[in-house]
Chains A and B, each alone.
Chain A
Amino acid sequence: MKHIVRKLYWNYEKEEKWLNEMCAKGMALTDYSWCRYVFEDCKSGEYVYRIELLENWANHHESKKYIEFLEESGIEHVASYMRWIYLRRKANEGEFNLFSDAESKIKHYRKVSSFWITIGIFELSIGSANIGIGISQSSNMNLYSGAFLFLIGFALLGLSWRLIKKIRELKKQMQIMQ
């Protein structure tokens, strides 16, 4: 049976956690498009889900090479959205983690935080511009949409800041262990 859930996630780690919680409840993600998650029934905890941000869009030839490589290890490419890919593997095939050492974890965190910072700054600029227009032309619409975009930008920068702190922690760990 298909279940469709509409939800918006900013933080991919929380999103991943939610997908795994859904799977524990017997619902496995089978497709995704913006804010629209499609689930099918499954055995409780049948799959482990992971989300990764790629260097390029999912249909780029470099991304395809990588996804093919993943499929060799029994990792299924469930869905993609721009540079994001949704992956899963059967839980009974063992632990599923894409990154097993601090260095590659940091590399991925850096990719995601750059992504968020870029969008965040973009939203802040457009937001501020709109607020400016809203004030100078007494336009409530510009004022409110500007404020909205500004807040989103701010939230994204907040998310990247948290990732940067995680990167710092990992780097400190790396001074002692790999």
Chain B
Amino acid sequence: MPESSERGALTEAVYYIMLALCSPLHGYGIMQRVKELSNDRVNLGAGTLYGAINTLVIKGWIIPKKGASNSRKKEYEISDLGRDILKIEIERLKELINNGEILLK
């Protein structure tokens, strides 16, 4: 289970990258999927994405997919730990939205 130190807010880019990786994708695939999910709003820069992928792999939130048929394009997918992190994040976002909708009537 993630420790309480993991309960900070994820950046929008990281949230969407992890969400996209609920299916295995390679770098460019992640960019396109995130663009799709966000209605063209979030356009990940290749440099930003590369850094984020490396950080997420180090943290164990995503894992490189073994034995891709096309060995040049490395694919990634979300790990169990990553899924837990996303669940916590979604709860956090729900809290924000609930309060927003109540107070901003």
Contacts and interface: CB of A to CB of B under 8 A. Distances in A.
Contacts of A72: 26-28, 73
Interface string A42-72: 0000000000100000000000001011101
Contact of B46 (A70, A101, A103, A107): A70
Given A73-B28, A73-B31, A103 B45 contact: no
B47 interface: yes
A75 interface: yes
Given A72-B28, A72-B73, A108 B11 contact: no
Nearest to B12: A178
A119 to B, nearest CB: 23
Which secondary structure dominates where chain B touches chain A?
Answer: helix
A99 B11 contact: no
Interface residues of A, number: 21
Contacts of B73: 72
Contact of A100 (B13, B26, B28): B13
A103 B42 CA distance: 15
**Closest 4 A/B residue pairs (Cβ):** A98-B47, A100-B45, A104-B48, A73-B28
6 contacts: A68-B72, A72-B26, A98-B45, A98-B46, A100-B48, A104-B45
Interface of A: 52, 66, 68-70, 72-75, 94-95, 97-101, 103-104, 107-108, 178
Interface of B: 11-13, 26-28, 31, 42-48, 50-51, 72-73
